[in-house]
Structure 1
């Protein structure tokens, strides 16, 4: 059963990424729409999935993906995580996800500063 749950989560993440990269499928404010066009240009799809996995599934992230995340910027990171965390089936735990998001950001900044 855990395997099915993981598959469902992966499908959700892929759908969320599609919505994030194709604003016509999502309902976002004008400011967020402009961010989609400028964010996530330097992050590979694998790193984007890793970032989402850290926040929503307690996975780990590589140093290389941390560097990409920090290079892209905190506003872009916050926009992606907040967008996903506000989905109806996740919103009950939004505060937890935002806390994990901040912890990930701080971790990645510390990794980037030591390199």
Structure 2
């Protein structure tokens, strides 16, 4: 039961982080919903938070999350990170975030091939 509670809490945190970057009356709202519905269901909330922390902060990648990320797929990973990086508060460093996104993807693919 505690495990389910921690998953629900982590999912709530992911949704809250995403909402913080999404304007309330966004034209892209339908696009965002599609991304979340098709992509975020393929990765655990813990790993989604970890990838976001690595790309947008100074987080350390949890290697066990690489499997989830590769399973999510490159298109989903690219689109989700790009969507977040396009937020007005982050767009000034978008190039840096997109490079980190690509570095995380390459690292995870190399780990997945050796596993």
Gaps of 5+ in 2: 1-12
Distance 2:104 2:16 in 1: 22
Is the contact made by 2:50 and 2:60 (CA closer than 8 Å) also made in structure 1? yes
**Structure 2 partner of 1:63:** 63
Is the contact made by 2:14 and 2:48 (CA closer than 8 Å) also made in structure 1? no
2:68 is the counterpart of 1:73: no
Is the contact made by 1:16 and 1:84 (CA closer than 8 Å) also made in structure 2? no
Distance 2:100 2:78 in 1: 11
Count of equivalent residues = 102
Distance 1:36 1:25 in 2: 17
**Structure 2 partner of 1:4:** none
- 1:35-81: CA deviation from partner (whole Å, max 9, x where unpaired): 33211212111111100001011211112111100011001111111
TM-score (norm 2): 0.74
1:3-82 aligned at under 5 Å gives the runs 15-18=16-19, 26-28=26-28, 33-82=33-82
Gaps of 5+ in 1: 1-11
TM-score (norm 1): 0.74
